[in-house]
Amino acid sequence: MSCLRIGLISDTHGLLRPQALAALQGCDHILHAGDIGKPEILDALRQLAPLTAVRGNNDVDAWADAVCEVEELWLGETGIYLVHDQADIPDDLAARGIEVVITGHSHKPLITRRGELLHINPGSAGPRRFRLPVSVGMLVIEGCQVRAELMELQV
């Protein structure tokens, strides 16, 4: 059974810390949940692994027009819904076979189960906001088993 390591990052707001790059090293895929800040962030993440990113509410410059607001993808056997703001999560995801929802926006790292869905917010990897940690996440998929973890970055 193969194991997929999916790096989760959000709310970089133009700052891609070396600690975040180090934490995402060796991933099979990276998901960026929005508020990217500048296209160079995406370029740097693509150097590490295939990348799927969504646009956040602060991604308003012309370069962000090419970034979708929502991505629905399958990695291994797992359906994943990627959107910046959890207010934009539709109600029918479980019926569509989605198992994992990745969001950003709040800057608060979170792993929780809501009904059949595993919700993950990797927190903010960019500029520190309030007293919240600077963090990224990891989604590990082994066959039908899915688990998530959060990693606070020492900055």
Reported as a single tens digit per residue, the pLDDT across 100-141 is: 999 999 999 999 999 999 999 999 999 998 889 999 999 999
Q: Give CA–CA dist 152/155, Å, rounded.
A: 9
Look-up of token digits 């990224």: 136
The whole-number pLDDT of residue 98 equals: 97
Domain that holds residue 116: 3-152
- Count of CB atoms situated within 10 Å of the CB of 154: 7
Task: Summarize pLDDT for 30-72 with one digit per residue, the tens.
Answer: 999 999 999 999 999 999 999 999 999 999 999 999 999 999 9
Overall number of domains in the chain: 1
Task: Summarize pLDDT for 6-41 with one digit per residue, the tens.
Answer: 999 999 999 999 999 999 999 999 999 999 999 999
Q: Give CA–CA dist 98/107, Å, rounded.
A: 23
CATH of the domain at 64: 3.60.21.10
